[in-house]
Chain A
Amino acid sequence: MANKSFLQLFTMFALVGIFVFAIISFSYNLQANNGVEDTILGDGIINKTYSNLNTDLNKFRDESQGQKTNFEEGGLSVSFGSLVLTTIGSIGKVFNGMIIGVFGILIVLPAQILGINSLVIGVIEAILLLTIMLSLWRVYRQGS
């Protein structure tokens, strides 16, 4: 994960979000269509994770559209012999927010259902945040 570009990092988290959403959806549909009364969505944490993922993944499209408009309207200028794109900062913040959003939803599952210590969760979160910051810095500096 450490050597991945920001694009790869974002794509990975988006696909992980879709995958988890799909597996919960498949499990629920299989149970509901076969007459199981006590489905997995009866569990409060799974239910909350499912609805949060639904909301978060739906926001991806709208926010990406908004950032595309932002990118197209943003000014390009030449400074110190290289191209400068002024809107890349806000674009980075929005997509960074999406990654953290998916991570925040998914980390609830092991933390609350399996009872994993908050210390472990904190360390994983720190590694992820550092990876995101370094990847974004590479985008700002080198444009890739």
Chain B
Amino acid sequence: MTYQTIDNLSNANIGDILSYPTVNTPTFFPLILVAIFIIITMVSFFRELNRESKGNLMSSLAVSGFITTVVALAMSLLGLIQREVVVIILVISIIFEVIFLLTGREK
């Protein structure tokens, strides 16, 4: 299999350059989104654990889901990911946000 290199791109604009990784690896940007989701969840959870000695994983997942949705929407504006990926990310983030809203901590 011959991999396309960046030399093969002619008259490339910014959209072509940004979407170049998907030529050989179509799952590149969905994997980036998964990484963003996990990183923000962990950062948020452990920061709360260090600050208040009690972490709320549900709230971290909800916030992370929302941020990932916004990033996915931005990527869809540039044509970097397909509608199906945006829909799956939206549904996963809705699930975590709904679970967080329905099981909020009693004060």
Binding site for B on A (CB under 8 A): 1, 3, 12, 15-16, 19-20, 23-24, 27, 30-31, 34-36, 38-40, 42-43, 45-46, 106, 109-110, 113-114
- In the complex, are the beta carbons of B77 and A20 less than 8 A apart? no
Bound together, the chains give a CA A47 to CA B91 distance in angstroms of: 13
Bound together, the chains give a CA A31 to CA B73 distance in angstroms of: 7
- In the complex, are the beta carbons of B106 and A43 less than 8 A apart? no
A contact residues around B106 at 8 Å (CB): 3
- In the complex, are the beta carbons of B102 and A12 less than 8 A apart? yes
A contact residues around B94 at 8 Å (CB): 20, 23, 106, 109
Bound together, the chains give a CA A114 to CA B90 distance in angstroms of: 11
A contact residues around B91 at 8 Å (CB): 109-110, 113-114
- In the complex, are the beta carbons of B102 and A31 less than 8 A apart? no
Instruction: Name B73's contact: one of A30, A46, A106, A109 (CB within 8 Å).
Output: A30
- In the complex, are the beta carbons of B69 and A23 less than 8 A apart? yes
A contact residues around B42 at 8 Å (CB): none
- In the complex, are the beta carbons of B98 and A34 less than 8 A apart? no
Binds A, one of B16-24, B26-34, B53-61, B81-89: B81-89
Bound together, the chains give a CA A113 to CA B87 distance in angstroms of: 8
19 contacts between A and B (CB under 8 A): A12-B102, A19-B98, A23-B69, A23-B94, A27-B69, A27-B73, A31-B73, A34-B77, A36-B77, A40-B83, A40-B87, A40-B90, A46-B87, A106-B98, A109-B94, A110-B91, A110-B95, A114-B88, A114-B91
Interface majority SS on A: helix, strand, loop or mixed? helix
Chain A nearest CB: distance from B73 CB in Å? 5
Chain A nearest CB: distance from B99 CB in Å? 10
Instruction: Name B83's contact: one of A19, A20, A34, A42 (CB within 8 Å).
Output: A42
Query: Considering only CB atoms, which chain A residue lies closest to B106 in the complex?
Result: A3
Given A40-B83, A43-B83, the answer on whether A27 and B77 have CB atoms closer than 8 Å is no
- In the complex, are the beta carbons of B83 and A15 less than 8 A apart? no
Please provide the 5 A-B residue pairs with the shortest distance between their CB atoms, ordered closest to farther: A38-B83, A113-B91, A109-B91, A34-B77, A43-B87
Given A1-B102, A15-B101, A16-B101, the answer on whether A23 and B83 have CB atoms closer than 8 Å is no
Q: Does B76 contact A (CB under 8 A)?
A: yes
